[in-house]
């Protein structure tokens, strides 16, 4: 049960003044559904505005607050802007300009003859000074002065800064005072303020210690939760699994295992033979051959007369895993099924029945395989094809389906910098596929300016006409999803005009059936070109696709580019990756793309990406989705994670775990950051 003290923070956003269904939509898009989400919706930056009485004292391009008296309203003919002519104290003229259908607003806010405080950016238009769409217009000097420094928040369509700031302010008033969960000496050493002071503070000004404190909270919550998972796992009784190898011997693999694959399988076998449940991470770059390792592990469970499950992050991947495994299992007599959220009615019931009576030995699916309505006869092993950005712990909770705790194998294709491995996987055992199957050729990677689109399409045409397949990836970023989607659709339309029926489109907002149909046409080779947003990022395996075009490559993280590039170079043919870049690139962006050209070593890319992004690019870091953290930046992770780990360990090993007084506070922290699966484990174990 969540401690009562936190209830105000978990109240729904629509309990605030002025929030109705219409406003909820853009808020939900930003994930701001509860009071606490708003309080933790941190500003990207602050605008500073200077209050002036005299426009001559202000520079063009400056953000100002100025008292202006309205002289005249000027509507233009047709679709021209609506202008409000004003003057300052000394008679200097300044026009306030509104585009679109804003004349009603303008007349209401700025009546002729009245004085108003106007906040906005001063610009020059011909000979005239102007402010276009001022950010604030108020009657009160006090209110105007409060706008001298303002937070700039990440927005979604349908929200304004003012609206969002108002809601955040309402949320901050509701913060309870909570007991301190950080080690007192740490607080003293860093000079940090209390949580309920730090949170409002970071909305007011760029306050690094306050922000660090909040980041530390998040890191501590994560470290604690992972430690609890680990401790609970150690105390659990699982069942040792040992197979006789009979099924594995029947597999018809078209290749010999690499040394790394064989070693990983041995490590897994060793873990499974123990009575403490396995908690192992299989880390291997794209194309390193994790699937067959997963299958071997699953077969050990089946050989031992029990059941195994493979959890995939998306439908497409679940389907593909299922197909691959089914083919490999032909002739073994192993019963394998696919279960996703889309299975309904009789078909679904038959599967559920088979899982309960044990006639189905392996199930592959999305999170649907762990819904309450699904029970297993004897689930002994769960393989999680991890999309690295989800916390493992939560998945582990999902996995608690068996009578006894099942063994868990998590897989990740993302090379994680060492600093982050600890954050994400705590103290899991790790097997590494550090060797690619033989015969892989380097992918020829080139950075091409968007201006050379004609050449790119020409090369694509030769490629397709030569009988090969290709991917074309368009960026999709949360904050301008609609624009990005439109751009992807427009690209699809032009490519389709050129290449006809052989082009298919896949994006996240399509109906799953349509998405699968398009994917299937591509996998079957009927479609030659797959235009996609990043849904193909993880795991899709089409060895005959040998060309990858990535549009606006500079907008992707290196890790993501690496994943995408890994979709090609999977067969024996030479593969090419074209990174299309815009003409204006920052120095960092240039370096990052150069690095992609230089190396195909995922670990090196991950480490260097961390270096390159360093400080400054806080925004990019936070939204890149490369870490399980919302608040802590890569820098803060690097700086504070080891401390958070030590702090967590001390609390658990020396200070009485979650039962002492600080433990009570730590419990609040776990709930606050929704790592309460840690607490639940403790209770269950
Ligand atoms: P991952 O999931 O690690 O990205 P996959 O398991 O999808 O990689 O394997 C990538 C490709 O390599 C597949 O086509 C697979 O059949 C092939 N493969 C896997 N192991 C070997 C091996 N030892 N030798 C040759 N090819 C292999
Ligand atoms: Mg895979």
| Maximum mean pLDDT: which of 208-212, 287-291, 421-425, 571-575 | 208-212
- Report the nearest-CA residue for atom 27 of ligand 1: 437
Which ligand is in closest contact with the Cα of 254? 1
Checking DSSP bridges between strand 362-365 and strand 336-339, what pairing results, if any? Answer: parallel
What's the average model confidence in pLDDT over 75-80? 81
Residue 290 alpha carbon to ligand 1 centre in Å = 7
* 8 A C-beta contact, residue 27 and residue 33: yes
Q: 199 pLDDT exceeds 90?
A: yes
86-105 confidence digits (pLDDT tens): 999 999 999 999 987 778 88
Residue 469 alpha carbon to ligand 2 centre in Å = 20
Rounded to an integer, what distance in angstroms lies between the CA atom of residue 444 and that of residue 577? Answer: 6
pTM over 0.75: no
What pLDDT sits at residue 157?
82
Q: 316 pLDDT exceeds 90?
A: no
Rounded to an integer, what distance in angstroms lies between the CA atom of residue 8 and that of residue 64? Answer: 37
Closest atom of ligand 1 to CA, residue 284: 3
Checking DSSP bridges between strand 82-87 and strand 93-98, what pairing results, if any? Answer: antiparallel
Closest by Cα among 214, 192, 190, 218 to 203? 214
Q: 387 pLDDT exceeds 60?
A: no
Triad 523, 524, 528: Cα angle to 5°: 75
What's the average model confidence in pLDDT over 241-256? 92
pLDDT bracket for residue 621 (50, 70, 90)? very low
Specify the length of the chain in residues: 685
Which ligand is in closest contact with the Cα of 569? 1
φ and ψ of 657, to 5 deg: 60, -140
- Report the nearest-CA residue for atom 20 of ligand 1: 289
Give the burial class of 163: count Cβ atoms within 10 A of its Cβ; 0-12 exposed, 13-18 middle, 19 or more buried: middle
- Which two three-digit tokens encode residue 637? 């992770």
- Report the nearest-CA residue for atom 16 of ligand 1: 289
Q: Which residues contact 291 (CB under 8 A, 6 or more apart)?
A: 321, 324, 325
Closest atom of ligand 1 to CA, residue 570: 11
Rounded to an integer, what distance in angstroms lies between the CA atom of residue 279 and that of residue 241? Answer: 14
Residue 386 alpha carbon to ligand 1 centre in Å = 17
137 lines ligand 1 (CB under 6 A): no
Rounded to an integer, what distance in angstroms lies between the CA atom of residue 648 and that of residue 669? Answer: 12
Closest atom of ligand 1 to CA, residue 433: 3
46 lines ligand 1 (CB under 6 A): no
- Report the nearest-CA residue for atom 17 of ligand 1: 289
What pLDDT sits at residue 477?
64
What pLDDT sits at residue 243?
92
| Maximum mean pLDDT: which of 404-408, 562-566, 590-594 | 590-594
Mean pLDDT of the chain: 87
Closest atom of ligand 1 to CA, residue 385: 2
Residue 541 alpha carbon to ligand 2 centre in Å = 8
Rounded to an integer, what distance in angstroms lies between the CA atom of residue 559 and that of residue 417? Answer: 10
Residue 291 alpha carbon to ligand 2 centre in Å = 6
391 lines ligand 1 (CB under 6 A): no
Strands (E), 387-478: 407-412, 429-433, 444-449, 469-473
pLDDT bracket for residue 504 (50, 70, 90)? very high
As a whole-number percent, the residues of the chain with pLDDT over 70 amount to: 89
**Dihedral sign (CA 472, 478, 479, 485):** positive
What's the average model confidence in pLDDT over 494-514? 89
- Which two three-digit tokens encode residue 163? 């609206």
Secondary structure element (H or E) that encloses residue 423, with its range: helix 418-425
- Which two three-digit tokens encode residue 295? 């299958």
* All domains in the chain, ordered by first residue: 1-44+161-175 (1.10.150), 46-152 (2.40.50.140), 257-433 (3.40.50.300), 444-599 (3.40.50.300)
624-650 confidence digits (pLDDT tens): 445 668 888 877 888 898 899 889 988
* 8 A C-beta contact, residue 123 and residue 61: yes
261 lines ligand 1 (CB under 6 A): yes
Which ligand is in closest contact with the Cα of 433? 1
Secondary structure element (H or E) that encloses residue 581, with its range: strand 576-581
As a whole-number percent, the residues of the chain with pLDDT over 90 amount to: 52
Q: Which of 3-7, 53-57, 304-308 has the lowest mean pLDDT?
A: 53-57
Residue 3 alpha carbon to ligand 2 centre in Å = 40
Residue 437 alpha carbon to ligand 1 centre in Å = 7
Pocket mutation for ligand 1, best pick of 264, 289, 323 (most atoms within 8 Å of C-beta): 289
The full 3-state SS of 250-272, as one line of letters, equals HCCCCCCCCHHHHHHHHHHHHHH
Pocket mutation for ligand 1, best pick of 283, 286, 287 (most atoms within 8 Å of C-beta): 287
320 lines ligand 1 (CB under 6 A): no
Between 507 and 445, where is the model more confident?
445
Q: For the chain, how are helix, strand and coil distributed in percent, rounded to 5? A: 45, 20, 35
Closest atom of ligand 1 to CA, residue 293: 6
Pocket mutation for ligand 1, best pick of 251, 291, 443 (most atoms within 8 Å of C-beta): 291
Q: 554 pLDDT exceeds 60?
A: yes
122-138 confidence digits (pLDDT tens): 999 888 999 999 989 99
Between 56 and 237, where is the model more confident?
56
Give 62-107 as a DSSP string.
Answer: -EEEEEEEEEEEEEPSTTPPEEEEEE-TT--EEEEEE-SS-HHHHH
- Which two three-digit tokens encode residue 394? 């939560």
264 lines ligand 1 (CB under 6 A): no
Classify residue 642 as left (phi > 0), alpha (psi -120 to 50) or beta: alpha
- Report the nearest-CA residue for atom 10 of ligand 1: 287
What pLDDT sits at residue 43?
93
Residue 290 alpha carbon to ligand 2 centre in Å = 6
φ and ψ of 415, to 5 deg: -70, 120
Pocket mutation for ligand 1, best pick of 437, 538, 564, 575 (most atoms within 8 Å of C-beta): 437
């Amino acid at each position: 049960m969540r401690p009562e003290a936190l209830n105000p923070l978990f109240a729904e956003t629509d309990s605030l003044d002025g929030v109705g269904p219409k406003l909820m939509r853009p808020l939900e898009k930003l994930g701001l559904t509860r009071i606490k989400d708003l309080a933790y919706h941190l500003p990207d930056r602050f605008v500073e505005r200077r209050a002036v009485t005299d426009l001559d004292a202000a520079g063009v391009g400056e953000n100002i607050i100025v008292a202006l008296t309205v002289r005249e309203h000027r509507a233009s003919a047709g679709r021209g802007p609506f202008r409000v002519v004003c003057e300052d104290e000394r008679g200097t003229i300044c026009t306030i300009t509104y585009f679109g259908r804003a004349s009603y607003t303008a007349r209401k806010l700025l009546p002729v003859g009245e004085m108003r405080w106007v906040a906005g950016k001063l610009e020059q238009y011909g000979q005239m000074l102007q402010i276009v769409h001022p950010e604030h217009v108020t009657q009160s000097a006090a209110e105007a002065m409060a706008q001298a420094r303002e937070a700039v928040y990440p927005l979604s369509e349908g929200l304004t800064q003012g609206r969002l700031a108002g809601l955040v302010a309402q949320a901050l008033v509701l913060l309870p005072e909570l007991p301190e969960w950080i080690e007192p000496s740490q607080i003293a050493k860093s000079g940090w303020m209390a949580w309920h002071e730090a949170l409002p503070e970071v909305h007011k000004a760029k306050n690094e210690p306050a922000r660090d404190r909040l980041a530390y909270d998040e890191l501590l919550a994560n470290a604690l939760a992972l430690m609890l998972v680990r401790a609970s796992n150690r105390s659990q009784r699982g069942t040792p699994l040992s197979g006789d190898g009979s099924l594995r011997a029947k597999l018809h693999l078209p290749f010999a295992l690499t040394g790394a694959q064989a070693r990983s399988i041995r490590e897994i076998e060793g873990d499974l033979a123990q009575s403490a449940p396995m908690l192992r991470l299989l880390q291997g770059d794209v194309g390193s051959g994790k699937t067959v390792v997963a299958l071997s592990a699953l077969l050990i469970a089946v050989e031992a007369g029990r059941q195994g499950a493979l959890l995939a992050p998306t439908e497409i991947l679940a389907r593909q895993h299922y197909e691959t495994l089914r083919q490999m299992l032909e002739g073994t007599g192993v019963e394998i099924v696919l279960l996703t959220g889309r299975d309904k009615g009789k078909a679904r019931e038959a599967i559920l029945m088979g899982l309960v009576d044990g006639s189905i030995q392996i199930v592959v699916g999305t999170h649907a395989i762990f819904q309450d309505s699904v029970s297993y006869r004897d689930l002994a092993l769960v393989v999680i094809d991890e999309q690295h950005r989800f916390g493992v712990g939560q998945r582990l909770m999902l996995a608690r389906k068996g009578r006894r705790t099942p063994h868990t194998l998590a897989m990740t294709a993302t090379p994680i910098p060492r600093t982050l491995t600890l954050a994400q996987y705590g103290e899991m055992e790790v097997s590494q596929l550090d060797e690619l199957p033989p015969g892989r050729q380097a992918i020829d990677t080139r950075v091409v300016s968007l201006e050379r689109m004609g050449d790119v399409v020409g090369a694509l045409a030769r490629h397709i006409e030569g009988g090969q397949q290709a991917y074309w990836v368009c960026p999709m970023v949360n904050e301008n999803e609609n624009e990005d989607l439109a751009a992807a659709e427009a690209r699809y339309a032009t490519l389709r005009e050129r290449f006809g029926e052989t082009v298919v489109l896949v994006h996240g907002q399509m109906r799953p059936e349509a998405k699968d149909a398009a994917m299937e046409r591509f996998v079957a080779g009927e479609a030659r070109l797959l235009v996609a947003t990043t849904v193909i990022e993880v795991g899709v395996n089409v060895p005959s696709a040998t060309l990858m075009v990535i549009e606006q490559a500079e907008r992707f993280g290196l890790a993501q580019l690496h994943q995408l590039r890994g979709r090609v170079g999977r067969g024996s043919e030479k593969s090419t990756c074209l990174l299309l870049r815009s003409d204006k690139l920052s120095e960092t962006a240039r370096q990052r793309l150069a690095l992609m050209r230089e190396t195909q070593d995922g670990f090196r890319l991950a480490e260097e990406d961390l270096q390159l992004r360093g400080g400054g690019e806080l925004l990019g870091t936070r939204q890149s989705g490369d870490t399980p953290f919302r608040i802590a930046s890569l820098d803060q992770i690097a700086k504070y994670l080891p401390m958070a780990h030590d702090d967590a360990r001390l609390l658990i090993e020396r200070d009485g775990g979650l039962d002492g007084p600080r433990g009570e506070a730590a419990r609040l922290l776990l709930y606050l950051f929704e790592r309460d699966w840690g607490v639940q484990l403790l209770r269950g174990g």
